[in-house]
Amino acid sequence: MFTLFHLRTGSVVFLVVAGFFLFTASAHAADRYWGGTGDRWEDTTNWSALPKGATGASVPGASDTAIFSTSGTTVQIRSAVSVGGLRFSTAWAGSLLLGTGSLYAGSTGISIGGGTFVAGTAAVSTSGNFTQTGGTVRGLQGTFTLSGSISITGASTVFSSTGTVVFDGGTQTSTIGSTASGAFKNVTIASTTSTTIGSNQAVRGILQVNTGSTFAIGIYTLSATGASIVNYGTINEGTGKISHTATNMIISDGTYVSQQAGFPVGATVYFSLTEQDENINGTAQDTVSITVELGNGDSEAVTLQETNDTSAIFVGSIATSQISPTASNGTLEADTSEIITATFTDAQDALTNSDTADLTVGSSPATGTGSHGAGGKAARLALMRARQAAALKSSAPESDEPVVKVDYGVTKVQPRSVQRKTSTPSEREVRLQNRLQQYGVPQSTSSLKPAAVREQVTENFKVRTCGRVMRWFQGNGKMLGRVNTRLEGRFGFTCRE
């Protein structure tokens, strides 16, 4: 009996003690209402235990919920504040400024229905949810960390963050209503399981997914135009998409760095693509596919592989051969000079990026710069001119000389006499002749007899000469007349239009 009584007495004592502690804990979790006329959070004369009650209650503690429901004053936090929760009612018309302080809200979270919350560079964090159905939240220049979900809705709701929003809880959701104004600059996904967006959203600075975290897009669109995407974890686009335009696609040399303007047939063509939203798995090397085409109809799919797990730089190559083309056989084939076009199309957002280079017979590679390089443009221009010249040659007559009329009225050529004038020998010549005579060397006279010279002119010569004359001087009557005068005087024929 003693043992039974002792056990029962102990049980009663245990229950009484346990109830006391529970009562004590619940008593410490209280609501505190702002009702003062001052501006300091830390002043007890500004807090009440009841709505519109007498002030002088304690400042909200780590287990309390700070509630702003009446008045429209400006409140400043100048210390490190830790509360169980923070709530702005729809009737609140004042402002809460963090100033030089910081704010931590526990599992009750932060609820904004009206008024204005300005954080500045201070740190804001909560282990609960952030819910905003009205009012304005701005000036979040520091870090806003939450373990729960974030929901921003309401027609007049404004949320603006120029700092970093960090999701570091378990399963979290980020939702911004279509009628609300919500903008994130930087977002870091550090959740232990996954963070999912529940609406179309935008990131303008840096989107980072930490190791072990998953960022799920679901059926929505994340606009990341101009943003940087760094993924050490996993990005699951689902049926949604990340719209990201900062893509760079080049046809390069073997280093995958320098843009290449041209390749000789038989060389290997290299490709480099920088596409941050294709780094889906931050723990493995991802792959993408590009399409490489020639003007002769050859089209090949080339797989590019990421250089490491997180680089978002994809490289690959394809061989070329001088042979009649066959599509989809893994080799670029051409028996004449062609232009290479490499195109990447994002399967999620359908955005494309491309580059071109020349594939020529018997040429050496040339490195270009810019969108394709000056060397590439010059080479393509030369190739175009060569093709135009070949086309003109195939359709034009064998001779490109103009059709001219030759006057054959004078067909005989009169002989022309050529004489050398006689002259009196100089003293030097007389002395030389006397010396030659002294040694018995026979001498010839210094004068030459006239000799007739007849210049032979063929019909082919006349045609070719007139062709050139008309090509050079047609339409210039003065020069054509002078040329014809000389032709007639020397050869006995003229050229007429």
SS3 of 433-461: the string is HHHHHHCCCCCCCCCCCCEEECCCCCHHH
Query: Environment class of residue 144 by beta-carbon count within 10 Å: exposed (0-12), middle (13-18) or buried (19+)?
Result: buried
Who's near 362: CB < 8 A, 6+ residues apart? Answer: 264, 265
| pLDDT tens track for 203-219 | 999 999 999 999 999 99
Per-residue pLDDT of the chain (497 residues; tens, 9 = 90+): 434 334 344 443 333 334 444 334 444 689 999 998 899 999 999 999 999 889 999 999 999 999 999 878 999 999 999 999 999 999 999 999 998 899 999 999 999 999 999 999 999 999 999 999 999 999 999 999 999 999 999 988 999 999 999 999 999 999 999 988 888 999 999 999 999 999 999 999 999 999 999 999 999 999 998 899 999 999 999 999 999 886 899 999 999 999 999 999 999 999 999 999 999 999 999 999 999 999 999 999 999 999 999 999 999 999 999 999 999 999 999 999 999 999 999 988 888 999 999 999 876 555 443 333 334 444 444 555 555 455 444 444 444 444 444 444 444 445 444 454 555 666 766 666 776 666 555 554 444 444 444 456 788 888 888 888 887 888 788 788 888 888 888 888 888 87
> Which residue type occupies 323?
I
Q: Are strands 181-189 and 260-264 parallel, antiparallel or unpaired?
A: unpaired
**CA–CA distance, 304 with 64 (Å, rounded to integer):** 56
- Global pTM? 0.68
* Three-state secondary-structure class, residue 464: helix
Cα dist from 90 to 86, 114, 213, whole Å: 13, 4, 36
**Closest of 284, 323, 330, 339 to residue 307, by C-alpha:** 284
Determine the pLDDT at residue 90.
95
